[in-house]
């Protein structure tokens, strides 16, 4: 039995301009103990899918189960299995951090769990903020509390919706160290993120959404094999030759060109040299998940 099962999920919203289909026949299973990544551009349907999983939205059609419990007909049992970290910074301004976690524990009928709360506070760098009011915390600290709230009832399935958006490097590393430890202990993790290097490093398997449909679903290692073998990367202040523009990925001064082999690289260098383009910090690197993602979103995979 999968930890989470999405079965032909569709979601249609009615707007003043007509109907908008956010999800179209999405089906996938997430196994017990898996670290699963859900990727896609803004508006692809990732948060809608998670909202349906958490019972915050109702699918127009299809069925979602959490460890065999239907999220609609058996909501309470399904929700107890989930720890959800939302994108939005939602907090109660009338309690301090420890009180917030105790209150969250009570929603799940959990009592006398101060030892676990202490471990969460320590692991997420919140120990010195335990008595601080939620209003006094920075945005990054509030996000740490959201993570602690999601984990306070020790759920077997952890759902992270953009958990590191807008947070500092220190929190990102501490969070992933702690979540990876929980995953090794058997917890199932579902992650959505725009930081593709995180997904590549952490996720065993990945699904990519585009316009509410799954356009790629495979092991991370297999997805990486679908990308171009190498990437020629360099910096330049000059405009590229027109022949290279359709295939180039340009970020500021950094230019990246996909290369299947040495012949492609030789051709690129000759074209650049003939156009008089000066290059700095040139390197040839292996393709990464970002390269795969852009290929898939362009329909190349």
The CATH number of the domain holding residue 17 is 3.40.50.300
Judgement on whether residues 190 and 255 belong to the same structural domain of the protein: no
Does some domain include residue 23?
yes
Residue 165's CB is within 10 A of a number of other CB atoms, namely 14
Contact 158, 34 (CB under 8 A): no
The model's pLDDT over 269-278, given as tens digits with 9 standing for 90+, comes to: 999 999 999 8
Judgement on whether residues 213 and 241 belong to the same structural domain of the protein: no
Judgement on whether residues 39 and 12 belong to the same structural domain of the protein: yes
The model's pLDDT over 74-88, given as tens digits with 9 standing for 90+, comes to: 998 999 999 998 877
Does some domain include residue 175?
no
- Looking at residue 300, its pLDDT comes to 43
205 has a pLDDT exceeding 90: yes
Provide the pLDDT confidence category of residue 301 given band limits of 50, 70 and 90. very low
The model's pLDDT over 24-64, given as tens digits with 9 standing for 90+, comes to: 999 999 999 999 999 998 888 898 999 999 988 999 999 99
- Looking at residue 176, its pLDDT comes to 87
The model's pLDDT over 236-264, given as tens digits with 9 standing for 90+, comes to: 988 899 899 888 888 888 998 988 878 88
Does some domain include residue 20?
yes
The model's pLDDT over 95-128, given as tens digits with 9 standing for 90+, comes to: 899 999 999 998 888 888 989 999 999 988 888 8
Range from 20-24, 65-69, 76-80, 222-226 carrying the lowest mean pLDDT: 222-226
Give residue 237's domain range: 228-297
227 has a pLDDT exceeding 80: no
Concatenate the DSSP letters of all residues of 217-280 into one string. EEEHHHHHHTS-SEEEEEE-SSPPPGGGTTT-EEETTEEEEEESSHHHHHHHHHHHHHTT---E
- Looking at residue 190, its pLDDT comes to 95
Does some domain include residue 265?
yes
Q: What is the mean pLDDT of the chain?
A: 88
7 has a pLDDT exceeding 50: yes
Q: How many Cα atoms are found within 13 Å in the side-chain-facing hemisphere of 264?
A: 16
The model's pLDDT over 279-290, given as tens digits with 9 standing for 90+, comes to: 989 988 888 888
Does some domain include residue 271?
yes
Judgement on whether residues 197 and 257 belong to the same structural domain of the protein: no
pTM: predicted TM-score of the whole model, two decimal places: 0.82
Interval 151-166 mean pLDDT: 88
Boundary residue ending a domain (225, 254, 273): 225
Sign, CA dihedral 262-268-274-277, equals negative
CA dihedral 84, 87, 89, 95 (to 10 degrees): 0
Does some domain include residue 113?
no
Sign, CA dihedral 211-197-64-151, equals negative
220 has a pLDDT exceeding 70: yes
**Rounded (5°) CA angle 97-101-107:** 145
Judgement on whether residues 237 and 276 belong to the same structural domain of the protein: yes
The model's pLDDT over 164-184, given as tens digits with 9 standing for 90+, comes to: 776 778 778 888 888 898 899
Boundary residue ending a domain (204, 225, 246): 225
Split into its structural domains, the chain has a count of 2
């Amino acid at each position: 039995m999968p930890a989470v099962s999405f079965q032909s999920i569709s979601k249609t919203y009615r707007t003043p301009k007509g109907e908008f289909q956010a999800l179209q026949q999405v089906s996938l299973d997430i196994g017990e103990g898996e670290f699963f990544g859900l990727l896609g551009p803004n508006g692809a349907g990732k948060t809608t899918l998670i909202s349906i999983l958490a019972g915050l939205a109702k699918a127009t059609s299809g069925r979602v189960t959490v460890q065999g419990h239907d999220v609609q007909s058996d909501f309470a049992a399904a929700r107890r299995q989930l720890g959800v970290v939302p994108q939005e910074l939602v907090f109660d301004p009338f309690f301090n951090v420890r009180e917030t976690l105790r209150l969250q524990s009570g929603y799940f009928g959990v009592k006398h769990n101060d030892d676990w709360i202490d471990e969460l506070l320590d692991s997420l760098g919140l120990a010195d903020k335990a008595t601080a009011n939620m209003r006094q915390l920075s945005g990054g600290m509030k996000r740490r509390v959201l993570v602690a709230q999601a984990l306070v009832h020790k759920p077997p399935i952890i759902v992270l919706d953009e958990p590191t958006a807008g947070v500092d490097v220190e929190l990102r590393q501490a969070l992933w160290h702690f979540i990876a430890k929980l995953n090794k202990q058997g917890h199932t993790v579902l992650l959505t993120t725009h930081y593709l290097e995180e997904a590549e490093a952490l996720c065993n398997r990945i699904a990519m959404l585009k316009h509410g449909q799954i356009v790629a679903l495979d092991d991370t290692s297999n997805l990486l094999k679908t990308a171009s073998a190498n990437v020629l990367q360099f910096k330049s202040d000059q405009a590229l030759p027109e022949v290279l523009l359709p295939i180039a990925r340009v970020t500021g001064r950094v230019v990246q060109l996909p290369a299947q082999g040495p012949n492609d690289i030789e051709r690129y260098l000759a074209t650049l040299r003939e156009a008089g383009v000066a290059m700095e910090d040139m390197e040839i690197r292996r393709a990464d998940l970002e390269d795969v993602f852009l290929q898939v979103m362009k329909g190349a995979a």
